[in-house]
Chain A
Amino acid sequence: AQTVTQSQPEMSVQEAETVTLSCTYDTSESDYYLFWYKQPPSRQMILVIRQEAYKQQNATENRFSVNFQKAAKSFSLKISDSQLGDAAMYFCAYRSGVEYGNKLVFGAGTILRVKS
């Protein structure tokens, strides 16, 4: 079974600075997807960024980018120019590439605090 590990329960960053959230995963599959989801306090969970395992290029979405190291099974999220609105719980998630395996496996989450 696949597992996802987020080793940082909590992180802090100064507004406008850069922060990196860590995620490692374990799988024997070669075809899969990785995601970072953001869950603000008492608000809806939304997708931040996703990465297809077959793509070597790291995904980027505006201020959010990933460092995908397939051999090391590492998938970190970098947030540049941090804003107060980035404060949330961030979850790393894994999804098998097999059609009927469309279930997400989540890590334990990292609370990100942004200081003004």
Chain B
Amino acid sequence: EADIYQTPRYLVIGTGKKITLECSQTMGHDKMYWYQQDPGMELHLIHYSYGVNSTEKGDLSSESTVSRIRTEHFPLTLESARPSHTSQYLCASSESGAGPEQFFGPGTRLTVL
């Protein structure tokens, strides 16, 4: 079944740890996105990719980094987690061309102690 997956769903980690949030989609979409969402608040774009080896920073500054080595995979990495990184991270994907709809993953709720 075509879908978009994120792991882990929940993560509690100590300050200074390196973490990678995984995002994979089986829809063959070229475009992928990472959003950050604080509880009850709007989503802010932090990274996006238009295809393999293409990554751009979004509108909200983030200390995280991303990579896009395979079409289906768009992981987000924090080299040294801090309490200010506590948030929910949502991954999304969309087709290129005329199909503007973005499909969202279930999200990863990150807590940094």
Q: Which residues of A contact B (CB under 8 A)?
A: 33, 35, 37, 43-47, 50, 89, 91, 95, 99-100, 102-109, 111
Contact = CB atoms under 8 A, between A and B. Distances in A.
Contact of A103 (B48, B101, B107): B48
Q: Looking at chain A's contact residues, is the secondary structure mostly helix, strand, loop, or mixed?
A: strand
A92 to B, nearest CB: 10
Contact of A100 (B41, B44, B45, B50): B50
Interface residues of B, number: 24
Given A103-B48, A103-B59, A44 B43 contact: no
Contacts of A111: 40
Contact of B101 (A50, A89, A91, A108): A50
Q: Which 5 A-B pairs have the closest CB atoms?
A: A45-B104, A106-B42, A106-B43, A108-B42, A44-B106
A102 B31 contact: yes
Contacts of A106: 42-44
A95 B33 CA distance: 14
A95 B100 contact: yes
Contacts of B107: 44-45
Contacts of A47: 101-103
Given A45-B90, A107-B42, A109-B42, A50 B100 contact: yes
Contacts of B50: 100
A11 B97 CA distance: 36
A45 B92 CA distance: 10
Interface in B62-110: 90, 94, 96-97, 100-107
Contact of A44 (B42, B58, B100, B105): B105
Nearest to B6: A44
A103 B42 contact: no
Contacts of A105: 59
Contacts of A50: 100-101
B106 A43 contact: yes
Interface string B28-64: 0001010000001111110010100000001100000
Given A89-B40, A91-B43, A108-B42, A102 B101 contact: no
